[in-house]
Amino acid sequence: MAQGDVNPLQQSIDSATAIFGRRYGRPPRWIVAAPGRVNLIGEHVDYNNGFVMPMAIDRYCVIAAGEANDEAGMTNDEFTSHSSFVIRHSSFTASVFSVATDEETIISLDRPAPHPTPGHWSNYVAGVISLCAERGLQPSGFQAVIESGVPFGGGLSSSASLEVATATLIEAMTGKTLNPVDKALLCQKVEHDFAGVPCGIMDQFASVMCRADHLMLLDCRSQQIEHIPLIDPNVTVLIVNTNVKHELSGGEYAERRAQCESAARKLDVAALRDATLSQLDSQRERLDAVEFRRARHAISEIARTVDAAAALKAGNWARVGRLMYESHDSLRDDYEVSCRELDLLVDLARQRDANGGMIGSRMTGGGFGGCTVSLVETSKADDVGKYLSENYQAETGIEPTVLTSRPGRGAHVVQTPLAGSASAG
Ligand code: GLA
């Protein structure tokens, strides 16, 4: 499970570079990277104006790119057949190849339109191109290879990392920069407008602004960030992917959000961030039973996140661990976004307990599958990973994926042409 000495970012960069070279017959001019994230605590509270505390994982979406009309590249008049239509390569198109799906998509830079297949990965790219153009960041034609080390569909923000990597590429190609908050909000809007998911701001803020060796405590109302060091060598972040995704068509997310907003209205507050548990109790009869439980999760989770940040700063790992378990229980019982496989992993973590090197564990991300995040004692991390993996597989017949991660670095340019050699648009 541990990746040993292999640097996953470097692996993604090497692979993207090699594949770009093979496809386009020249080295890439630009290489950018944007990380996925894992949320330690503060789940389903970003859209309630609460606090969240994710970190970037050291797995990145890497894009290697070059101008379409680079000498050795394709000519402006070359035609490519793509699905059921034929499109002309020109300075007005982006040819984007995804290693994961082994598929190239051509996107018009003039009028980036969604792919005919709903939920297609290229919609994230087209969406970012479109919104960047509205802000005056208009690249000329390019070719790109996307190589992502962020597991797809595992609740580790593979889509946010693709959006943020695309925005970072466009910044590099145009030589113009967005301020980090605008960049994250632009990427969030892509998720809303091009993918139809009314997500909060956590994933895109994390991918843009996380710092190596730090957790990011984000106040989702003020958008203020506090970077909290996570450097204790005795504590390791262990991520276990259930490798299940219960397809609930994304509608569950929007429904939870609507229930929270309705609860806030009935409690007469702008957002659940502004309510307290005693206020909720005293006004219980105003809410239906489901709204009550949703609100109880959100209000208590925001408090747990603030509490966990303080405990972290004090090095009180036992307290952080307890808060993680409480967060899981609340997500399972009150918010109802867990599933059998996630619950099993957290139950196994509880059985393992502190004597076995387990500090705390919970589901992470949107839910209904995906990953758990655990804090474990470093010296026992391998054993704990094996224990969780074997028992999970014995019970479910599904092989989980176990990975450890240091807090990674936010989006960055890995390679850019030497000054003077760029002909960015
Ligand atoms: C998804 C969304 C985030 C956040 C989490 C739950 O990852 O994109 O905005 O709401 O779910 O915490």
- Whether 200 is in the pocket of ligand 1, judged by its Cβ within 6 Å, is yes
- Whether 120 is in the pocket of ligand 1, judged by its Cβ within 6 Å, is no
Ligand 1 atom, smallest distance to 155 CA:
7
Cβ 323 vs Cβ 303: under 8 Å: no
The pLDDT, as a whole number, for residue 246 is 78
Mean pLDDT in residue range 206-218: 98
Q: Which amino acid is at 260?
A: C
- Report the distance separating Cα 389 and Cα 241, nearest Å: 10
72 vs 155: which has the higher pLDDT: 155
Q: Which of 390, 410, 411 is nearest to 400 (CA)?
A: 390
Q: At what angle do helices 202-209 and 158-174 cross, to 10 degrees?
A: 50
- Whether 307 is in the pocket of ligand 1, judged by its Cβ within 6 Å, is no
The pLDDT, as a whole number, for residue 384 is 98
- Does residue 423 register a pLDDT over 70? no
- Whether 46 is in the pocket of ligand 1, judged by its Cβ within 6 Å, is yes
The band of 112, judged by pLDDT with boundaries at 50, 70 and 90, is confident
- Whether 366 is in the pocket of ligand 1, judged by its Cβ within 6 Å, is yes
- Whether 362 is in the pocket of ligand 1, judged by its Cβ within 6 Å, is no
- Whether 163 is in the pocket of ligand 1, judged by its Cβ within 6 Å, is no
The pLDDT, as a whole number, for residue 195 is 86
Output the CA 379–ligand 1 centroid distance in Å: 31
The pLDDT, as a whole number, for residue 84 is 31
- Does residue 82 register a pLDDT over 60? no
Q: Which amino acid is at 202?
A: M
Output the CA 161–ligand 1 centroid distance in Å: 13
The pLDDT, as a whole number, for residue 416 is 85
Give the containing element (helix H, strand E) for 86.
strand 85-88
The pLDDT, as a whole number, for residue 249 is 52
The band of 6, judged by pLDDT with boundaries at 50, 70 and 90, is confident
- DSSP-derived 3-state class of residue 114: coil
The band of 119, judged by pLDDT with boundaries at 50, 70 and 90, is confident
CA atoms within 13 A on the CB side of 336: 13
Ligand 1 atom, smallest distance to 43 CA:
12
Q: What is the pLDDT of residues 322-363, one digit of tens each?
A: 999 999 999 999 999 999 999 999 999 999 998 999 999 999
Protein residue closest via CA to atom 11 of ligand 1: 366
- Does residue 77 register a pLDDT over 90? no
Hey, which of 152, 203, 335 would you mutate to test ligand 1's pocket, going by the most ligand atoms within 8 Å of its Cβ? Answer: 203
Average pLDDT of every residue of the chain: 92
Which residue's structure tokens are 């991660």? 405
- Whether 367 is in the pocket of ligand 1, judged by its Cβ within 6 Å, is no
Hey, which of 202, 204, 252 would you mutate to test ligand 1's pocket, going by the most ligand atoms within 8 Å of its Cβ? Answer: 202
The pLDDT, as a whole number, for residue 115 is 87
Output the CA 69–ligand 1 centroid distance in Å: 39
The pLDDT, as a whole number, for residue 422 is 39
Output the CA 365–ligand 1 centroid distance in Å: 6
Q: Which of 28, 401, 39, 404 is nearest to 207 (CA)?
A: 39
- Report the distance separating Cα 105 and Cα 120, nearest Å: 10
Burial of 41 (0-12, 13-18, 19+ CB in 10 A): buried
Output the CA 83–ligand 1 centroid distance in Å: 33
Across 69-103, b (16+ Cβ under 10 Å) vs e yields bbeebbeeeeeeeeeeeebebbebbbbbbbeeeee
Which residues does the annotation mark as catalytic? 203
The band of 1, judged by pLDDT with boundaries at 50, 70 and 90, is very low
Mean pLDDT in residue range 143-166: 96
Helices (H) and strands (E) in the chain, counts: 11, 15
The band of 2, judged by pLDDT with boundaries at 50, 70 and 90, is very low
- Report the distance separating Cα 323 and Cα 339, nearest Å: 20
Q: In the chain, what percentage of residues exceed pLDDT 90? A: 84
- Does residue 173 register a pLDDT over 80? yes
The band of 50, judged by pLDDT with boundaries at 50, 70 and 90, is very high
Q: What is the pLDDT of residues 252-308, one digit of tens each?
A: 999 999 999 999 999 999 999 999 999 999 999 999 999 999 999 999 999 999 999
- Whether 199 is in the pocket of ligand 1, judged by its Cβ within 6 Å, is yes
Protein residue closest via CA to atom 8 of ligand 1: 199
Ligand 1 atom, smallest distance to 160 CA:
8
- Does residue 12 register a pLDDT over 80? yes
- Whether 365 is in the pocket of ligand 1, judged by its Cβ within 6 Å, is yes
5 vs 108: which has the higher pLDDT: 108
- Whether 203 is in the pocket of ligand 1, judged by its Cβ within 6 Å, is yes
Cβ 121 vs Cβ 127: under 8 Å: no
The pLDDT, as a whole number, for residue 76 is 38
The pLDDT, as a whole number, for residue 415 is 86
Output the CA 44–ligand 1 centroid distance in Å: 6
Hey, which of 156, 199, 201, 302 would you mutate to test ligand 1's pocket, going by the most ligand atoms within 8 Å of its Cβ? Answer: 199
The pLDDT, as a whole number, for residue 153 is 83
Output the CA 163–ligand 1 centroid distance in Å: 15
Q: What is the DSSP string of 199-263?
A: --SHHHHHHHH--TTEEEEEETTT--EEEEE---TTEEEEEEEEEEE---TTHHHHHHHHHHHHH
Q: Which of 298, 324, 297 is nearest to 309 (CA)?
A: 324
Q: What is the pLDDT of residues 376-397, one digit of tens each?
A: 999 999 999 999 999 999 999 9
The pLDDT, as a whole number, for residue 424 is 34
210 vs 251: which has the higher pLDDT: 210
